[in-house]
Amino acid sequence: MFLFKKRKEEKKKQEQTKQKQTPEEKEYLFKISLLGDGAVGKTSLRRRYMGQGFTTQHLMTIGADFAILEKEVDGIKVTWQIWDLAGQESFKNVRNMYYRGCFGALLVFDITNKQSFLNLDNWLKELLKHNGRGPIPLIILGNKVDLEEQRQVSQEEVNQYVENLKKRFSKESIEIKYLETSAKTGLNVEEAFETLGSAIFSYLKAKGRF
């Protein structure tokens, strides 16, 4: 009985200590998903962000690829749990289990492939159906801007798509933004993840969890 009471008191002290910590002193674990058609550059973006460089070969993800990385976002320690989901239709049933618990997502399309942009809605439907949280912060990424001369999707088209999403989720406490990236040159790759991290913090504040 004494041992049980002692453990209970220790647990209470630990909880009180956590509550007294400032956001900068706490550590956060953010599970996020990288979504989009096959070959749009999701894995290359993740590799670039993790400092693993760029490869010109297409790396086909089998179902889902998983990585962990510690970074600072807005001066706060964040452990990213990055789920890089396979874009091929054959992996659709496998992907569903990996959405659950995501705090945010990077929706990636290839600016040289119009169909990959048109398919973003399908990815969003999957995310909303299986993540268990409903609408969450989204960063739309137009990747491969180093191939500007082959562009098939204009910035105006994407901006209109983002505005429509904002209207659709206007009552939700989420941010939706658009960035153009290049996994090859590194353009806006770091910013994409940091922008998502800041959006997740805002989301948690609105939910009273930060």
Q: What's the rounded Cα separation, in Å, for the pair 117 and 155?
A: 11
Chain segment 4-40, per-residue pLDDT in tens:
445 556 555 555 544 555 555 577 999 999 999 989 9
Confidence of residue 57 (pLDDT cuts 50, 70, 90): very low
Q: What's the order of all strands across the beta sheet hosting 176-180?
A: 64-73, 76-85, 27-35, 104-110, 138-143, 176-180
The closest alpha carbon to 32, from 199, 169, 184, belongs to: 199
Domains of the chain: 28-206 (3.40.50.300)
Q: What's the rounded Cα separation, in Å, for the pair 6 and 14?
A: 12
Q: What's the rounded Cα separation, in Å, for the pair 166 and 178?
A: 11
Checking if the pLDDT of 119 tops 70, the result is: yes
